[in-house]
Amino acid sequence: MQGPDGYDFSTLYDDLAASDAAQAANDSSHIFAVNTARGITFELIGSGFVPNANFFGDGTITQINILNTIDPTQTTQDHVLVNSNGWIIDTSALFSAISAYQTDHSQTAGLNTIFNTPIYSVVGSAGFRRQQQQSA
């Protein structure tokens, strides 16, 4: 996982639940879920997706990018908040878990299984810290 510009993961489930995955830019290897209120897009990359169809039963997600744009065509590095790969997520399982959470925000088991089970390696920096000098 790489987070060059940062993303607050404490809102991940809410951000996914508020996203619209019915996008014209979707194809057999990309699903774009746009959250207009937050100004972000989840770019789900994998294989076996069926464009313009019900994504709940098709494909495997292997990479998730979170972009700081609501335009699915803007996928360049300067829009990447988070880049994560190495996933093996059944698309049906993800969208079912999101749907359950949308209906009742206490229903986190499906999303927890997907996102809390893996071991994460985060690449990035907490930023620069300026040390304060104390006068004697």
The 8-class DSSP code of residue 10 comes to G
The answer to whether residue 112 sits within a structural domain is: yes
The answer to whether residue 36 sits within a structural domain is: yes
Q: Tell me what pLDDT residue 41 has.
A: 97
Q: Is the pLDDT of residue 14 over 60?
A: yes
Helix segments in the chain, DSSP class H: 12-17, 91-103, 109-116
What are the tens digits of pLDDT across the range 42-81?
Answer: 999 999 998 766 666 679 999 999 999 999 999 988 899 9
The answer to whether residue 96 sits within a structural domain is: yes
The answer to whether residue 93 sits within a structural domain is: yes
Greatest pairwise CA separation for the chain in angstroms: 69
The answer to whether residue 34 sits within a structural domain is: yes
> Which of the four pLDDT bands, split at 50, 70 and 90, describes residue 133?
very low
What are the tens digits of pLDDT across the range 27-46?
Answer: 999 999 999 999 999 999 99
Q: Tell me what pLDDT residue 18 has.
A: 97
The answer to whether residue 135 sits within a structural domain is: no
The 8-class DSSP code of residue 120 comes to P
The answer to whether residue 122 sits within a structural domain is: no
What are the tens digits of pLDDT across the range 114-126?
Answer: 999 877 666 655 5
Write out the residue range of the structural domain in which residue 15 sits.
Answer: 9-116
Number of domains in the chain: 1
> Closest Cα to residue 65, out of 33, 25, 19?
33
Q: Tell me what pLDDT residue 8 has.
A: 84
Q: Contact, 97 vs 111, CB < 8 A?
A: yes
The answer to whether residue 127 sits within a structural domain is: no
Q: Is the pLDDT of residue 21 over 70?
A: yes
> Which of the four pLDDT bands, split at 50, 70 and 90, describes residue 136?
very low
